[in-house]
Structure 1
């Protein structure tokens, strides 16, 4: 048994916890991902720290909540001087690599502003976590396209190797786009809705790409991951590799055979498609807000049955391609000298409503569709339980990797080492906190500020509190797993709300950063 195993962390983008064969999906087949669960542990209560891309990815790297690491919503870069668990592995002698989507810095030059008043246009009025003039453009897709010399400055948040992909669908940027231009010439003629192949889907974000399967981002990431493994596994040096797929995030562009691998007719609508009893004003606004006909979708939306089942079928196709890619990467691991010394982990950065409550995509409603993600852990040298009900968070991944590697962490890590939960399934916390700070103003919240939500999850209950609102959400997780009855205003739950409010206050106090701890008193 080695105390310094290698690690491969597989990560998808916008995948629900129940969209895996091993999680009971009735149609989707994911045999290669299921094999990770079959040889290890599947956490059935895996939650994000924040249900939006950049904040949760920053929480993964730092093992710290968004309110502490500084990435509270999309458009904010993770400060370059942040400590990450990958930094710790690198200092401990690990080779480190990231292949695919990073999204620790914005993909564009668009300013992240709260849009309230003239003062917001003056950067000198803002509280800053980074020095004025610091530029975060390593992952900027336009700069990658315009400047052939633009590249990632390494090490990048602890990664010594980074094969970069930005954006989603068939229009990816970064290193993949540069590769497309070198190998396919005028590749632009193969991508986008204007060049797509014929189909009869009604969703405007369903794009039947003409890009060949072998040129699609999932295949490009797969090939580079295999190359990394083959280059490192004959060495005595352990490695940490993060393989990050941009799929199955919309737009829905599964290439080649994956386009019609699943049919909308095979997809069943979720039980909650009909809606929720006692929904909040924000929830009802989204339930009743239909996109303009033909408008390209990008955020939480109300959908009809056909739109929902189309998105499900194409998502399944994208996941099938990811599963096939993971099968090839796992084959490279299995053929290597470190096959019996490599821990494999699988998760996603957040979920998707995927028809729950008649909604698609993600937005400021902290329902399980976007809060719960897959969380699989397979260690060939350690005993494990098949499933665990423990409440676990994205911030726990890095903490557990460091513990397994025997690597020294840093002061301020908020994640929990899951070693005992992996071995016995035992609980690791009594309650779990999810933060959600939006970045798009929503009129229903009164002052048109982006919603700010804090959600507390216990084994039995889940409560979401919205800043400056007298409404919220309360669900009995055991009696109402589909979250179809909001008990916030139910008189019978008054004492439950009081108890959960006290527990939430404890979690909020616990989350406040205590790093650095004082070394002297007085």
Structure 2
């Protein structure tokens, strides 16, 4: 049966902030309702906990080391195969955040380092790689996307985070509500006394009405595409991508103080661990008053900062939940819910106070690597409310979508379809996952940008780092907070070496296989 896809993705969400993943605060009734009616993955983890490369992995079904977007700042090649649904006749739309290309105009690293070679190993596939750059939109009020864009025929971009998004959103705000176009951003925000994150520029109380906030605009544009889909009567893939609850936090209107920081409970890991060296370094920076708190990078936070981030992040999430509710109401109104698969996920997690950390960085705690994943399918509506504990990866999403659509996958796609699990059939489960990370920043006390690999099994998490002799090893069953690093424990030496050998095998299994070699004579 031909089906439609309505794919919701949010940015930087700790899975446990959802009620269906254990949050006792009723902040997300709509998303929780999707889980109650659908299928929920309990152990879905990223290919990498960084935005651009993991979004590229979601669309390609390939690891960052293979599709080439190793970290933020490297656009996905326009030669990457991301258009199989479009080729099969689907109407394809991308609404909101894309982040498959760079949003800033910062130069490559070699331009800032005299010791780096100026030429790269490969020339870019031809095309325009400045379509998501904010300066492109600022320089040309009439700029238009070159379509199709990574397989999407219709694109409406919101570039950036909080209420200061650029792209099509800003153009719409300037044209339709010019009285608010100059009131976005921190410099025009409303007073918010007592908030530490406001001082750091990581939050502000938006002066934009909630109905004009980028989150509401993304829902509006998604609804418009649903109405267009009913008129076209073609199968559709509608990718509705919210740029929140990523920092800086700007939940609008009543959502700013919907939750109070003092009511937020600290994660159980906050006071419970013996930190590995790089986490100890972050805490030492904080305790010495040297923590950098005004960038996108993670830092060791105070209890007050964590509680603020949790409250404001939850406010942003509740606002998103309400907007998703609006979209689903129209889906039902148009009768499209009867043949539309609805998916909800995030591009990666968020520390949200786990181990005293905020935001994201090169520590693969499950608060960062684990993402929510919900699939509601009208074909299996009678089996709603099921939870699956298989190990799933971001790279498994694309082949699952393709199998559901009846489309053959391409050579080089590394993920495995988990559609058999969704429809209740037995499947060969993964017993290990590979997580990659290539950092841009030199921090954590390292003398070079962080490069690491993680092996995740149902029982253990092993993380190794380039250039250092130590690593991380945790027993996930005995120590779910990952508070006790067993790397140097003599009794775990055999386990450690077995996991290192398995990590090597997984890295080998995820090397490139495309294009296929010439047939032997």
> Is the TM-score greater than 0.5?
yes
Partner in structure 1 of residue 399 of structure 2: 399
Q: Report what 2:87 is aligned to.
A: 91
Correspondence 1:128-207 to 2 at 5 A: 128=122, 130-131=124-125, 135-185=128-178, 187=180, 189-200=182-193, 201-203=195-197, 204=199, 205-207=202-204
Query: Does structure 1 retain, via aligned residues, the 8 Å contact 2:279–2:444?
Result: no
**Aligned 8 A contact 1:19 1:28 in 2:** no
Pair 26,169 (structure 1): closer, same or farther in 2 beyond 3 Å: same
**Residue number in structure 2 paired with 1:481:** 480
Distance in 1 (CA, whole Å) between partners of 2:453 and 2:272 is 22
The residue that corresponds to 2:118 in the other structure is: 123
Cα pair distance change 1:288/1:427, threshold 3 Å = farther
The aligned residue for residue 262 of structure 1 is 259
After TM superposition, the structure 1 = structure 2 runs for residues 180-259 of structure 1, keeping only pairs within 5 Å, are 180-185=173-178, 187=180, 189-200=182-193, 201-203=195-197, 204=199, 205-259=202-256
1:281 aligns with 2:277: yes
Matches within 5 A, 1:362-441: 362-382=360-380, 383=383, 386-424=386-424, 428-441=429-442
Quick one: which of 41, 47, 52 aligns to 1:43?
A: 41
CA, structure 1 residues 292+196, in 2 after alignment: closer, same or farther (shift >3 Å)? farther
Q: Distance in 2 between matches of 1:255 and 1:427?
A: 45
2:139, 2:206 → 1: CA distance?
Answer: 24
Question: What displacement does 1:155 show?
Answer: 0.2
Partner of 2:9: 11
CA, structure 1 residues 458+274, in 2 after alignment: closer, same or farther (shift >3 Å)?
Answer: same
CA–CA separation in structure 2 for the residues paired with 1:258 and 1:283: 32
Give, in whole Å, the separation in 1 of the partners of 2:156 and 2:431.
Answer: 39
Contact 2:291 2:299 (8 Å CA) reproduced: no
Deviation at 1:293, TM superposition (A): 8.4
Task: Give the drift of 1:313.
Answer: 0.4
Partner of 2:492: 493
Secondary structure at the aligned position of 1:123 is classed as coil
Q: In 1, Cα distance between the equivalents of 2:113 and 2:292?
A: 33
Could you say which residue in structure 2 is the equivalent of 1:107? 103
1:318 aligns with 2:313: no
**TM-superposed deviation, 1:151:** 1.8
Give me the whole-angstrom Cα distance separating, in 2, the residues matched to 1:99 and 1:68. Answer: 26
Q: Deviations over 1:12-70 (max 9, x none)?
A: 00001111111111224211111111111111101011101100011011110000000
Check the 8 A contact 1:384/1:423 in 2, yes or no: no
Distance in 2 of aligned mates of 1:387 and 1:114:
47
Structure 2, unaligned runs of 5 or more: none
Residue by residue, what CA displacement relative to the aligned partner does 1:190-236 show, whole Å, maximum 9, x if unpaired?
A: 22222211222121322001011111000000000001001103443
Q: Distance in 2 between matches of 1:334 and 1:38?
A: 17
Residues 311-355 of structure 1: CA deviation (Å, up to 9, x unaligned): 100001000110000001111111223221100111111111100
Matches within 5 A, 1:429-468: 429-442=430-443, 444-445=445-446, 448-468=447-467
| Distance change (3 Å), C-alpha of 1:443 and 1:461 | closer
1:76 matched to which residue of 2? 74
Q: How large is the Cα RMSD of the aligned pairs?
A: 1.8
SS at match of 1:316: helix
After superposing the two structures, state which structure 1 stretch, 242-251 or 448-457, moved more.
448-457
Query: 2:78, 2:127 within 8 Å by CA — same for their partners in 1?
Result: no
Cα separation, partners in 2 of 1:338 and 1:52, compared to 1, 3 Å: same
Q: TM-score, normalised by structure 2?
A: 0.95
SS in 2 for 1:80: coil
State how far apart, in whole Å, the 2-side matches of 1:409 and 1:275 are: 45
Contact 1:30–1:323, Cα closer than 8 Å, also in 2: yes
Q: Displacement of 1:504 after TM fit? A: 0.6
* CA distance 1:518–1:53, shift in 2 (3 Å): same
Whole-Å separation in 1 of the counterparts to 2:291 and 2:206: 21
Tell me which moved more, 111-120 or 229-238. Answer: 111-120
- 8 Å contact 1:391–1:429 — kept in the other structure? yes
- Among residues 356, 359, 372, which one is paired with 1:358 in the alignment? 356
Give the match's secondary structure for 1:330.
helix
Matched-pair contact (CA < 8 Å) for 2:281–2:444: no
| Alpha-carbon distance between aligned partners in 2 of 1:7 and 1:162, rounded to the nearest angstrom | 16
Give me the TM-score of the superposition, normalised by structure 1: 0.94
1:50–1:66 Cα contact (<8 Å) kept: yes
Question: CA 1:322–1:432 in structure 2 vs 1: closer, same or farther (change >3 Å)?
Answer: same
1:108-148 Cα offsets, whole Å, 9 max, x none, are 1112426885242x532x222515x8541011112112211
Gaps of at least 5 residues in structure 1 are: none
Q: Distance in 2 between matches of 1:116 and 1:144?
A: 25
